[in-house]
Homo-oligomer: A and B are copies of this chain.
């Protein structure tokens, strides 16, 4: 079988000429497909793509490309102090390496549009760092063929094993926060987690449940909420949890911003924090040290995660194999003033 024979020779032996011969097109056409150019018919492009895939084609040498001195930092959404932590973590690494950071955002989408990918294939940056988003499988192939390395920062953990990813230990974060509340004596603990379809939210919830099981304390199903990670969500779920007679004595929020929303709901209802309600946030954004009261939270080391991912992108750009393909940095509890024993 031709395909098998080619594969036996090893992927590096495949040249553009081989692909062009097999598909029956010119070398220029194959090159155009590789470079993400638009002037190839969809049908030809599909045939070339399929051939490239069969041969596991990878560009062998990287001639000096326009984008060689830049890495692209692509956000799912460019929002809040959370994104700033990531930017600072990346910038600390790229500044030393003399690389530019090019910023873009996908306006809430989880995969980049093909137009972004085509531009990136043409420009060929030293690498791409995706934050809470990732290339589709087809896009991964296209990037790899062009020798453009990519790493995902993903607390979401929705990425596949084939994608180098830096995350943090969400289960441990959920466990630590809940244990802290249980150790303080809380027995009625609510959780407002992230969206139910986001893996990190379910993972933290799993840690929350595990801590309860450890202590032999049942979880009240009415106390398990899913919101988004923003302030308003914390405020609304906070109001609905706290404005009832059998209200929880503690709330574990899905993010620091959400925790600020809970804090506001408590204040609206005249509840003292931490006297009548303990609150734990998640992320440990700088502002949490300065809120009133200062927020007990789970440190998600965003800068270190971003820095680690940036260093992995640089390793890939140098053509090195990654020592680690999936890294989860450790989460830690930071106890401040918003948690106390229940009255």
A residues within 8 Å of B by Cβ? 66, 70, 78-81, 83-84, 87-88, 91, 95, 100-105, 231, 257, 260-261, 263-264, 267, 286-287, 290-292
* Alpha-carbon distance between A236 and B290 when the two chains are bound, in angstroms: 13
Cβ-defined contact, A102 with B100, below 8 A: yes
The chain B residue sitting closest to A264, CB to CB, is B290
Contact present for B290 and A80 (CB under 8 Å): no
Asked whether, in the complex, the Cβ of A292 is within 8 Å of the Cβ of B292, the reply is: yes
Q: Which of B78, B83, B95, B290 contacts A231 (CB 8 A)?
A: B290
Q: What chain B residues lie within 8 Å of A80 (beta carbons)? A: 81, 84, 286
Known: A80-B84, A95-B104. 20 other contacts (CB 8 A): A70-B102, A78-B84, A78-B91, A80-B286, A84-B84, A87-B103, A91-B103, A95-B105, A100-B102, A101-B103, A101-B104, A102-B103, A231-B290, A257-B290, A260-B287, A261-B290, A263-B290, A263-B292, A267-B292, A291-B292
Specify which chain B residues have a CB less than 8 angstroms from the CB of A83 in the assembled complex: 84
Q: Closest residue to A273 on the B side, CB-wise?
A: B292
Give A103's nearest chain B residue, CB to CB: B101
Minimum distance in angstroms from A287 CB to a CB of chain B: 6
Q: A287-B260, A292-B292 known; A78 and B87 CB under 8 Å?
A: yes
Would you list 16 pairs from A and B whose C-beta atoms are within 8 A, ordered by A residue?
A70-B102, A78-B88, A80-B81, A81-B81, A81-B84, A83-B84, A84-B84, A91-B103, A91-B105, A101-B102, A231-B290, A260-B291, A261-B290, A267-B292, A291-B291, A291-B292
Bound Cα distance A100, B292 (Å):
39
User: Which residues of the partner chain B approach A66 to less than 8 Å between Cβ atoms?
Assistant: 66
Residues of the B chain whose Cβ atoms lie less than 8 Å from the Cβ of A104? 91, 95, 100-101
CB distance from A50 to the nearest CB of B (A): 30
Expressed in whole angstroms, the Cα–Cα distance for A66 and B122 within the complex equals 12
Q: With A and B bound together, what is the CA distance between A264 and B263 in angstroms?
A: 16
A243 to B112 Cα, complex, angstroms: 54
B260 and A290 within 8 A (CB): yes
Which residue from chain B places its CB closest to the CB of A232 in the assembled complex? B290
- Shortest distance from the beta carbon of A93 to any chain B beta carbon, whole Å: 13
Across-interface contacts of A267 in B (CB, < 8 A) = 292
Among A104, A263, A292, the one with the most B-chain Cβ atoms within 10 Å of its Cβ is A292
Q: How far is the CB of A137 from chain B (nearest CB, A)?
A: 25
A70 to B100, CA, bound (A): 11
Q: In the assembly, what is the distance between CA of A263 and CA of B286, in Å?
A: 16
- Nearest B-chain residue to A266, judged by Cβ: B292
Q: With the chains together, A95 CA to B105 CA distance in Å?
A: 9
Q: Which residues of chain B are near A291, meaning CB under 8 Å?
A: 260, 291-292
Q: Which 6 A-B pairs have the closest CB atoms?
A: A100-B102, A101-B103, A84-B84, A260-B290, A292-B292, A102-B102
Q: How far is the CA of A24 from the CA of B80 in the complex (A)?
A: 56
- The answer for the CA separation of A286 and B91 in the assembled complex, in Å, is 24
